[in-house]
Amino acid sequence: CYRATAAHQAVFSRHKMATRLAARMFTTAAQQALSTKVCIVGSGPAAHTAAIYAARAELQPILFEGDAMVGGQLTTTTEVENFPGFPEGVMGGELCDRFRKQSERFGTKILGEMVTKVDLSKRPFNIFTENHHVTADTLIIATGADAKRMDFPGSGEGAGGYWNKGISACAVCDGAAPIFRNKPLLVVGGGDSAMEEASFLSRYASKVILVHRRPEFRASKIMLARARNNPKIEFMVPYVPVAALGDKLLRTVRLKNVQDDTTIDVPANGLFFAIGHQPATGFLGGQLALDDKGYIATKPGATSTSIEGVFACGDVQDSKWRQAITAAGSGCMAALEAEHFIAAHS
């Protein structure tokens, strides 16, 4: 394999320094210039696992956690019962706080700012926020994917809303909770995810009603047949939810027939959205290759992307599993790959 001579390394070092100095010329007066071997964008289990590994490798990572919904989708979950090490369960927010403290313990510099744009045309990469301009030898993207939710009276958070009080967007995360056991539950959606979630929930629910706005389904034939053959799953089409009702918890979902506009109130202690996810990739400006679902494309069995030195982990590149534990595992992979990349290019 190619091994750089001392002369080559000197040229590389001078080029690297010149590139960083040139990058700083574009930093506005209001932006503080920083440089790092590893910059991480994200705030969930993938981001913090990457930060912990990178920091322990003495790579002095900088992590941008954003300024809203810090912790990612875990913060929208109440009790997490399937993350190892917590036999009694742990609140989603508390788990995120523990991730953050562990990252800080090993020296990760955490900044509560949103990354607005990046320049990946050359190394070191340029990462911009309102207050900082960071040059980084490697970039780890762990920005996650937001579960799509419907907006109707009672579907939100706060007063009068039943989000996390019976309404969820993750059956695997929340479906085994006591408030859903042996109760009627609704799943909204028409794809494979909806069929999977309905089948999963049927283990715990008294019955599952799958609600879809059209008689036709996008789900594969085998998944649809599996749901139809499940004696605990019923179908209601063509309906959409228009209101969530209850007391302290969800008790009833009002459904509207999209063909004749009639409504019906259906008793339900749970309503699960299974209408897809939106990966958080807008700030990349189309510089990385995405798959056909809009997730960052990574090489099989790895976290490397279409640009050398850029790695993606967690839900931003995972359209299938979308679990905290799988996100953490891929965060470990990204940090180790970044470490090896840095060593090979030093």
| Residue 188 DSSP one-character state | E
Residue segments in the chain with a per-residue pLDDT below the cut of 50: 1-26
Q: Which residues contact 206 (CB under 8 A, 6 or more apart)?
A: 182, 183, 184, 232
Q: Which residues contact 65 (CB under 8 A, 6 or more apart)?
A: 42, 43, 47, 100, 110, 111, 112
pLDDT of residue 226: 95
Q: Using CA of residue 236, residue 237, residue 241, residue 245, what is the dihedral sign? A: negative
- Length of the chain equals 346
pLDDT of residue 72: 78
Q: What is the distance between the alpha carbons of residues 312 and 143, in angstroms, rounded to a whole number?
A: 9
Q: What is the distance between the alpha carbons of residues 119 and 98, in angstroms, rounded to a whole number?
A: 32
The average confidence (pLDDT) of the chain is 90
Residue with tokens 């180790």: 336
Cβ–Cβ < 8 Å for 150, 273: yes
pLDDT of residue 4: 36
Amino acid at position 223, single letter: M
- Round to the nearest angstrom and report the end-to-end CA distance of the chain: 15
Amino acid at position 145, single letter: A
Backbone angles phi, psi at 67, to 5 degrees: -125, 10
The two beta strands, 117-119 and 125-128, are: antiparallel
pLDDT of residue 30: 66
Q: What is the distance between the alpha carbons of residues 204 and 187, in angstroms, rounded to a whole number?
A: 14
Helices (H) and strands (E) in the chain, counts: 7, 19
Backbone angles phi, psi at 344, to 5 degrees: -75, -20
Backbone angles phi, psi at 272, to 5 degrees: -115, 120
Residue with tokens 């976290």: 303
| Nearest C-alpha neighbor of 51 from the set 296, 117, 43, 280 | 43
Catalytic residues: 170, 173-174
Six-digit token pair at 254?
């009002």
